[in-house]
Structure 1
Amino acid sequence: MSDPRFTSGVELSTGIGLRVPHYDHILSEKPPVGWFEIISENYMVEGGRALAVLDRILDQYRVVQHGVGMYPGDAGGVKFDHLRRLKRLVRRTKTPWISDHLCWGSVDGTMSHDLLPIPFTFEAVRKTAENLRIAQDFLEVPLAVENVSSYGEFNGDEMTEWEFLAEVAEAADVGILLDVNNIYVSSINNGFDPMTYLDFVPAERVAQIHIAGHSRYQRFIVDTHDHPVIDPVWKLYERAIERCGHVATLLEWDGRIPSFEEVWGEAKKSETWRAAAIEKRSGHAAA
């Protein structure tokens, strides 16, 4: 059963990220998008075009906030200045929940502006969960954490990534933003079975799913969000829906952004995969 904090009164299906090259098309054509996801930090400003466009979008669409700067894995604790600015935006958008990445990114006040992987240790579970509980209580809106892509592993890890994700979500009592492309990217880079990861994730905590494309290089594949979704990632998505049920799904496309029609067409492919997964889910339930 899904966490009611992420389902009660909210009917979300397929969405895409709100990106600058598509502003004019969206405002003039009013496409039938289920919802838009915004990068919170892009709108945590005092004024300007971004906020003006956002207010017009909010008049017509549901908007959900997704962040890149909370850094719940930081050993120094949460940054209340960031949270205060974030909360002002939460009140503006009336987002049904807010998400950010399960990562760290600053040391002694110096920001890396990157999503750095957390060592999978019990102490990191404790500290990260503490930060998330403080953030969720302060923001007064449900919080979900996203699994990040990784390109190596720590020698001192005490558990797998999927165990760490589940432990943190349980200890902090937060939801999970399940990025199936990140699972695939990390599985290729670090040599594990992505289905094992997916099948371990507590389905009842999955609040949202991300799908995206990536780039393949000689030694690694990188989560670049600048290509269509490949079949192995779609298959992971199908399995995620089979396990989690009808969950809000968002396509990310952040590099070499094509036309709105191409991005929206790629996002809508999820509906075919979702229908197949729901049918499998129903068949299992009937059996």
Structure 2
Amino acid sequence: MHNKRIHSSIGVGLRHPHLDFFAQNPGRICWLEVHSENYFAPNSPARQQLRVIRQQHTVSCHGVGLSLGSVNKINPQHLTALVNLVQEIEPSLVSDHLSWSENGGIHFNDLLPLPYTEEALDVFVGNVQQVQDALKRPLLIENPSSYLRFNHSTISEWEFLNEVQRRTECQLLLDLNNIYVSSLNHGFDALDYINAINQQAVKEIHLAGFSVKEIDKAKIWIDTHSTAVCDEVWELYRTWCLHNPNTATLIEWDMAIPEPETLLHEAEKASVIASSTANTIKVA
């Protein structure tokens, strides 16, 4: 099955253990997504290898460190490094998260949730505008997985995202696994979320796996990106493709990283769904 042609809208996350594989095996997949911060150092071996891979593949840049939800201004050194990477690599898409991870110079090794309030919305919108002005292109904002809700939130997550998009003209990265995980943790219908999102603004889909933990006899679903995509998320993707063909779609796998062929096998599953609903087109 691993020699089948994969639909050109389907990509996989490029992680460090797979740099050599994709550098030496061009043509196995059309596009790859990297975590931007791993390639900020311009003279690093990783950046040099990314230059080689970029000659053979379309690449997108997915960030985890802009901390767009922080009250503080965007870190200027971080933004400069991102701008330099984007100018050199010329990625098809640039994205980050609806979250925060820095406060007062202290960086947290996690994507932390926001209260969905008008005040938080104003902060987030301002930060997105600052980044887009520097990049001179739209930024994609990804919906998070969530494990708690703030009592003083006044806006649903999908309304918050839609309003950010309306005010900034950014684009959206819809993580279907995150929606599914959050729906199980909070008891809403994942399809209601998907149907409420401004689907015209969605330029990328993420598919991944999750883990389940039991705490005090209660289950919590955690977006670990450590397993294959589950059947329920595949079904959400199939529903998405029926109305939104050819959306750039990524297989994410960040923990317990498997062999590249396992990622490509997941990409082939996505390809079958995408191919059944649309003609093949170029991602970039």
Query: Which of residues 195, 206, 213 is equivalent to 2:209?
Result: 213
> 2: distance between equivalents of 1:35 and 1:96?
9
Equivalent in the alignment of 1:106: 102
Alignment partners' CA distance in 2, 1:143 and 1:192: 28
Deviations 1:28-53 (A, max 9, x none): 23242110101000000132220121
2:16 match: 20
Residue in 2 that maps onto 1:226: 226
Structure 2: distance between partners of 1:12 and 1:111: 37
TM-score normalised according to structure 2 size: 0.91
- Give the deviation of 1:278 after TM superposition: 4.7
Alignment partner, residue 60 of structure 1: 56
Alignment partners' CA distance in 1, 2:156 and 2:242: 23
User: 1:266 corresponds to which residue?
Assistant: 266
Match of 1:139 in 2: 135
How far apart are residue 96 of structure 1 and its match? 2.5
Give the fraction of aligned pairs with identical amino acids, expressed as a percent. Answer: 39
Matches within 5 A, 1:67-146: 67-146=63-142
**Structure 2: distance between partners of 1:99 and 1:188:** 25
Aligned pair partner of 1:158 in 140, 154, 160:
154
Greater Cα offset, 77-86 or 235-244: 235-244
Aligned-partner residue type, residue 133 of structure 2: D
- SS of equivalent to 1:220: strand
Q: Is the 8 A contact 2:26 2:57 kept in 1?
A: no
Over the aligned positions, Cα root-mean-square deviation in angstroms equals 1.6
Once residues 61 and 242 of structure 2 are traced to their aligned partners in structure 1, the CA distance between those partners, rounded to angstroms, is 25
Tell whether 2:196 aligns with 1:191: no
Instruction: Find the counterpart in structure 2 of residue 169 from structure 1.
Output: 165
| Structure 1 residue 129: Cα displacement | 0.8
Q: TM-score, normalised by structure 1?
A: 0.90
> Are residues 1:37 and 2:33 paired?
yes
Aligned to 2:241: 241
Q: Deviation of residue 216 (structure 1)?
A: 1.4
Distance in 1 between residues matched to 2:183 and 2:262, nearest whole Å: 28
3-state SS, counterpart of residue 69 of structure 2: coil
Contact in 2 for aligned 1:238/1:276 (Cα 8 Å) = no
Deviates more, 1:233-242 or 1:190-199: 233-242
Unaligned runs of 5+ in 1: 1-10, 280-287
Mapped to 1, the partners of 2:10 and 2:133 lie a distance apart of: 28
2:200 corresponds to 1:201? no
Q: CA deviation at 1:12?
A: 5.3
Cα drift, residue 97 of structure 1: 2.5
After TM superposition, which residue ranges in structure 1, 4 or more long, deviate above 6 angstroms?
none
Question: Does structure 1 residue 46 correspond to structure 2 residue 57?
Answer: no
Equivalent pair of 1:96/1:141 in contact (CA under 8 Å): no
Aligned residues: 269
- Secondary structure, counterpart of 1:241 in structure 2: helix
Query: Do the aligned residues in 2 keep the contact of 1:126 with 1:171 (CA within 8 Å)?
Result: no
User: Matched residues in 2 for 1:12 and 1:174: separation?
Assistant: 24
* Other structure's SS at 2:66 match: coil
Of 179-188 and 116-125, deviating more is: 116-125
* Per-residue CA distance 1:11-70 (angstroms, 9 max, x = gap): 951101111221222222324211010100000013222012111101111111000001
How far apart are the structure 1 equivalents of 2:15 and 2:250?
A: 13
5+ residue gaps, structure 2, are: 1-6, 280-284
1:245 is displaced (CA, Å) by 2.7
